[in-house]
A and B are shown apart, each in its own frame.
Chain A
């Protein structure tokens, strides 16, 4: 049968996705243990999610949470750092740790036949890190050196300056890595205390997934973590006492990088929390606005104008309202034109050029039909589950995602665009060559640009 190139083939019915079953248990010490069977490859992974992130840094100690998590694999239990990493190597281990604003996540994957050993090593790192002085000084020095190197990296400069402009002294106003001043003063005692009072079973989830039964996975976790009795009273984190992010008065800021080949742009303001009832509508709004290749922003700035290799928007959903940001790196000479186009798109979707029925249909379809991709590997599934744990989302969250996205209509998208994109609060940051950019800035009508110094 010859094919018809006159039209695209029909898709047929969407395939049925069976969501992985999560079994939930709680150990006597309060640790939550979730297990997920996944038998595709002979691997297991243990993901530890601690709902303590960089936002728990004391005001004068940005970087404390991150350096504490960095110390976990510098020796633990009976093993010094080298012995620990040797042990990880022998089980084919893959260790990954990351820290965000709201959480610290440590993941160890290994060959399934080493599940018990992997679980024991994870527990040693979390519960019994050595926190040795020599290791601490080396790790702190490496972090200070990292800060020095980031001075040359335009995206890092932009990210750091932007969260500071948006959040000021709010707990989201700094990067997890912290600042030079803070790292210089930080002591091992502070790290020990942070570990003692923050790393407690009651605010921790262990998500074990992979090629083993629920019972076997849970037993491995219980053997490793069951005896854990926290030594100290947990320090409470009370989000309700957080200050409000500052009201932005300046609309335009520039950070001068002489001779920069491009301008690194950030445009945005404080967005919405993960628990927002408008979550699904905002996800639909974002995918149409700047969340995928065919979004308005990318099609305009890249595919129509050729100003950039790519432009994106994102709502960073967190416990508190995270940032809503448009980011792009654009050719220096067209900086102002690119900002104008970007701002026009942000304004237009609020009403002047609201989402069309066609855009809505395509955006919702991209989200819902693409959803199965998130459930391919054990680690992906664990990461998804960790989001449920961190943000206290309902058990049926995965299976209700598609119907909730499909229920978002044009009115809802326009409403959340109006509500969550506020032209009077949008702040534009340019990290680039002042000489090439400043002469054209008046065309933006955003007032005087404030000049920043690198943090």
Chain B
């Protein structure tokens, strides 16, 4: 398996990546801007995402909303913002590729003339409602915010979540939008991938025509405040929430995306908690029935990752039972490493997951998004084989080593989320935190 592609860099610095796949008469247009909530400053959190919303409100030469002409052309489209990047995508029938490029290039080049206070105020309300719906009104919805604030110092850009603080979203001004656009929404800070039923030469020609005339702009400033003081003692926090069953989060700092040890920790998470045969599912949910669910993930990001284990207590069971069982499982893993069986299974699953991810040309994920991820994060859209190799060359010894190096008890943060008024259900010695 591979994704054959061509890369062409326009004079203004925009990378254009093209992958041909003629199986279905559709093309995925996927555009990454290398800007996310990590480029925000304290007091203006949530801004990169709020900005993403404004990109759908029309641009100078088509100022009637972004969705109308594209949906009517049969497109599926959306965008998303995370800490590291913002992406925009359309999956269009083959005959609407030019339309999608017209629309994407118009908002890259000519967003500001169409921007108004009314649009800005409206999308501010929409985003505040998105925050209410997905965080404030959702069980355990504040856990991520509490955890990120605990894991990073307050000026570190990963110390807030991409959705941001409500008061910061309210404090955002239209002038901030203009400055942000001029700084980050530049061809040289973007990567355009086209995948699907398209001829490479035609795709590059169209991309050159639509995007080539846009000004390169200056190189955006680097990210500030990324220093990370080493953690030497375990931290315990508690958060009260409108929930019935207490939940425990255990988090460690971990390697950045594609960095050394990243793939190994991915597979450690797989062996520990993915599927019914995983160690933690088996002991906590299947045998002991002390948890209703268990998950472990290596969340790798540009400036550094975090490894997280999450378990929800079954009725009548305690978070300290969960903590003991999870800690014991990690100690055992560090002592003995995975067995041959576990390695074989998690590598087979990892390989299959690569194939599943690449079944589609685009959307959230798919081949076009993967090409951009490789291009933006490692500068090589053809990183596919090397990426897969990272998983193929993992050994029992290397998994054991990374678990020992990264998952040390003194470097973890433990967050107990408990029902309101039931602080007694948190792990002993937990310090209350407030999030809103």
A366: chain B residues within 8 A (beta carbon): 71-72, 74
**Is B348 in contact with A309, judged by CB distance below 8 angstroms?**
no
B139: chain A residues within 8 A (beta carbon): 149, 152-153
Query: What is the number of contacts between chain A and chain B, taking CB atoms within 8 Å?
Result: 210
Minimum C-beta distance from A148 to chain B (A): 5
**Is A111 in contact with B352, judged by CB distance below 8 angstroms?**
yes
Assuming the A-B contacts A41-B1, A152-B244, are A138 and B289 also in contact, with contact meaning beta carbons closer than 8 angstroms in the complex?
yes
B138: chain A residues within 8 A (beta carbon): 153-154
Closest to A331 in B: B129
Q: Beta-carbon contacts of B69-108 to A below 8 Å, as 1s and 0s?
A: 1011111100000000000000101111011001100100
**Is B244 in contact with A151, judged by CB distance below 8 angstroms?**
yes
Which residues in chain B, 340-372, are within 8 Å of chain A measured between CB atoms? 341, 344-346, 348-349, 351-353, 355-356, 358-361
Which residues in chain A, 305-324, are within 8 Å of chain B measured between CB atoms? 306-309
Closest to A11 in B: B95
Q: How far is the CA of A366 from the CA of B68 in the complex (A)?
A: 10
Which residues in chain A, 80-114, are within 8 Å of chain B measured between CB atoms? 81-82, 85-86, 88-94, 109-111
**Is A111 in contact with B355, judged by CB distance below 8 angstroms?**
yes
Q: How far is the CA of A16 from the CA of B349 in the complex (A)?
A: 36
B181: chain A residues within 8 A (beta carbon): none
A353: chain B residues within 8 A (beta carbon): none
Q: Beta-carbon contacts of B321-337 to A below 8 Å, as 1s and 0s?
A: 00000000000000000
| A443 interface contact, C-beta 8 A | no
A249: chain B residues within 8 A (beta carbon): none
Assuming the A-B contacts A15-B94, A377-B360, are A370 and B76 also in contact, with contact meaning beta carbons closer than 8 angstroms in the complex?
yes
| A181 interface contact, C-beta 8 A | no
**Is B61 in contact with A5, judged by CB distance below 8 angstroms?**
yes
**Is A294 in contact with B68, judged by CB distance below 8 angstroms?**
yes
| A352 interface contact, C-beta 8 A | no
**Is A306 in contact with B26, judged by CB distance below 8 angstroms?**
no
| A368 interface contact, C-beta 8 A | yes
A43: chain B residues within 8 A (beta carbon): 355-356, 359
**Is A8 in contact with B69, judged by CB distance below 8 angstroms?**
yes
**Is B349 in contact with A9, judged by CB distance below 8 angstroms?**
no
Q: How far is the CA of A151 from the CA of B315 in the complex (A)?
A: 14
**Is A92 in contact with B359, judged by CB distance below 8 angstroms?**
no
Minimum C-beta distance from B369 to chain A (A): 15
Minimum C-beta distance from B118 to chain A (A): 10
Q: How far is the CA of A43 from the CA of B356 in the complex (A)?
A: 8
**Is A376 in contact with B359, judged by CB distance below 8 angstroms?**
yes
Minimum C-beta distance from B356 to chain A (A): 6
A94: chain B residues within 8 A (beta carbon): 352, 356
Q: Beta-carbon contacts of B23-62 to A below 8 Å, as 1s and 0s?
A: 1111000000000000000000000000000000000111
| A330 interface contact, C-beta 8 A | yes
B289: chain A residues within 8 A (beta carbon): 138, 141
| B277 interface contact, C-beta 8 A | yes
Assuming the A-B contacts A151-B244, A375-B24, are A14 and B352 also in contact, with contact meaning beta carbons closer than 8 angstroms in the complex?
no
| A371 interface contact, C-beta 8 A | yes
Closest to B27 in A: A15
B430: chain A residues within 8 A (beta carbon): none
B110: chain A residues within 8 A (beta carbon): 5
B422: chain A residues within 8 A (beta carbon): none
Closest to A295 in B: B71
**Is B99 in contact with A308, judged by CB distance below 8 angstroms?**
no
Closest to B69 in A: A8
| B257 interface contact, C-beta 8 A | no
**Is A5 in contact with B106, judged by CB distance below 8 angstroms?**
yes
Q: Beta-carbon contacts of A63-86 to B below 8 Å, as 1s and 0s?
A: 000000000010000000110011
A92: chain B residues within 8 A (beta carbon): 348-349, 351-353, 355
Q: How far is the CA of A94 from the CA of B348 in the complex (A)?
A: 12
- Among the 9-residue stretches A167-175, A186-194, A257-265, A272-280, the one with 4 or more Cβ atoms under 8 Å from chain B is A257-265
A13: chain B residues within 8 A (beta carbon): 95
Which residues in chain A, 2-54, are within 8 Å of chain B measured between CB atoms? 2-3, 5-6, 8-9, 11-17, 40-43
A8: chain B residues within 8 A (beta carbon): 62, 69, 99, 102-103
| B224 interface contact, C-beta 8 A | no
Q: How far is the CA of A362 from the CA of B64 in the complex (A)?
A: 14
Q: How far is the CA of A271 from the CA of B96 in the complex (A)?
A: 34
| B197 interface contact, C-beta 8 A | yes
A286: chain B residues within 8 A (beta carbon): none
Task: Among A17, A93, A293, A330, find the residue whose CB has the most chain B CB atoms closer than 10 A.
Answer: A293
Minimum C-beta distance from A47 to chain B (A): 15
| B243 interface contact, C-beta 8 A | yes
Q: Beta-carbon contacts of B102-133 to A below 8 Å, as 1s and 0s?
A: 11001000100000000001111110111011
| B136 interface contact, C-beta 8 A | yes
Closest to A142 in B: B292
B25: chain A residues within 8 A (beta carbon): 15-17, 372
| B173 interface contact, C-beta 8 A | no
Q: Which residue of B73, B132, B134 is within 8 Å of A365 (Cβ)?
A: B73
Closest to B138 in A: A153
A307: chain B residues within 8 A (beta carbon): 125, 129
**Is A90 in contact with B122, judged by CB distance below 8 angstroms?**
no
Q: Which residue of A41, A88, A306, A362 is within 8 Å of B72 (Cβ)?
A: A362
**Is A262 in contact with B99, judged by CB distance below 8 angstroms?**
no
| B210 interface contact, C-beta 8 A | yes
Q: How far is the CA of A368 from the CA of B72 in the complex (A)?
A: 9
Assuming the A-B contacts A11-B95, A111-B355, A154-B137, are A331 and B132 also in contact, with contact meaning beta carbons closer than 8 angstroms in the complex?
yes
Closest to B102 in A: A9
**Is A303 in contact with B122, judged by CB distance below 8 angstroms?**
yes
Q: How far is the CA of A228 from the CA of B213 in the complex (A)?
A: 66
| B245 interface contact, C-beta 8 A | yes
**Is A89 in contact with B356, judged by CB distance below 8 angstroms?**
no
Closest to A368 in B: B74
Assuming the A-B contacts A306-B125, A331-B132, are A89 and B359 also in contact, with contact meaning beta carbons closer than 8 angstroms in the complex?
no
Q: Which residue of A293, A304, A373 is within 8 Å of B26 (Cβ)?
A: A373
Q: Which residue of B69, B71, B137, B242 is within 8 Å of A292 (Cβ)?
A: B71
Assuming the A-B contacts A142-B292, A262-B132, are A376 and B71 also in contact, with contact meaning beta carbons closer than 8 angstroms in the complex?
no
| A411 interface contact, C-beta 8 A | no
**Is A41 in contact with B345, judged by CB distance below 8 angstroms?**
no
Minimum C-beta distance from A116 to chain B (A): 16
B275: chain A residues within 8 A (beta carbon): 85, 88-89
Assuming the A-B contacts A261-B136, A362-B68, are A9 and B129 also in contact, with contact meaning beta carbons closer than 8 angstroms in the complex?
no
Q: Which residue of B94, B121, B126 is within 8 Å of A309 (Cβ)?
A: B126
Q: How far is the CA of A307 from the CA of B292 in the complex (A)?
A: 35
Q: How far is the CA of A366 from the CA of B77 in the complex (A)?
A: 12
Q: How far is the CA of A15 from the CA of B197 in the complex (A)?
A: 10
B314: chain A residues within 8 A (beta carbon): 141, 145
**Is B345 in contact with A372, judged by CB distance below 8 angstroms?**
no
Minimum C-beta distance from B419 to chain A (A): 9
| A414 interface contact, C-beta 8 A | no
| A357 interface contact, C-beta 8 A | no
| A146 interface contact, C-beta 8 A | yes
| A302 interface contact, C-beta 8 A | yes
B130: chain A residues within 8 A (beta carbon): 309
| B276 interface contact, C-beta 8 A | yes
Q: How far is the CA of A2 from the CA of B95 in the complex (A)?
A: 20
Supply 4 further A-B pairs (C-beta < 8 A) apart from A3-B213, A262-B133, A369-B74: A8-B99, A14-B95, A15-B25, A303-B65
6 smallest CB-CB distances across A and B, nearest first, come from A369-B74, A92-B352, A306-B125, A15-B25, A261-B136, A370-B74
Residues of A whose CB lies within 8 Å of any CB of B are: 1-3, 5-6, 8-9, 11-17, 40-43, 73, 81-82, 85-86, 88-94, 109-111, 138, 141-142, 145-146, 148-149, 151-154, 259-262, 264, 292-294, 302-304, 306-309, 329-331, 361-362, 365-366, 368-373, 375-379
Residues of B whose CB lies within 8 Å of any CB of A are: 1, 21, 23-26, 60-62, 65, 67-69, 71-76, 91, 93-96, 98-99, 102-103, 106, 110, 121-126, 128-130, 132-134, 136-139, 197, 209-210, 213, 242-245, 275-277, 282, 285-286, 289, 292, 312, 314-315, 341, 344-346, 348-349, 351-353, 355-356, 358-361
